[in-house]
Amino acid sequence: MKVVVDKDKCTGCGKCREMCPKGFKIWNIGPDKKAEASNLRFCHVCTICAGVCPTKAIQVIRDREEDEKEGTNEKNL
């Protein structure tokens, strides 16, 4: 799984960090005043961040091969 932020669309509003259940553990506002996803090991793939982004700058992309390696599958999400 990876979280991709389109820096051209991101306004740095912080709604992703504010609404994410893990918030400050995952989301930072970088020096360029844009959202950055880090520490994704805390991410539960809830996709709230993508849903609340007013500019649709966030995409959550599931990587099935990576999920299987980590022991995660759609049944236990």
Band (pLDDT 50/70/90 cuts) for residue 39 is: confident
Work out the average pLDDT over 6-29: 93
Say how many domains are in the chain: 1
7-28 CB burial, b ≥16 within 10 A, e <16: eeebeebebbbeebebeeebbe
Q: What is the CATH number of the domain that holds 10?
A: 3.30.70.20
Band (pLDDT 50/70/90 cuts) for residue 76 is: very low
pTM: 0.74
Domain of 24, in residue numbers = 2-76
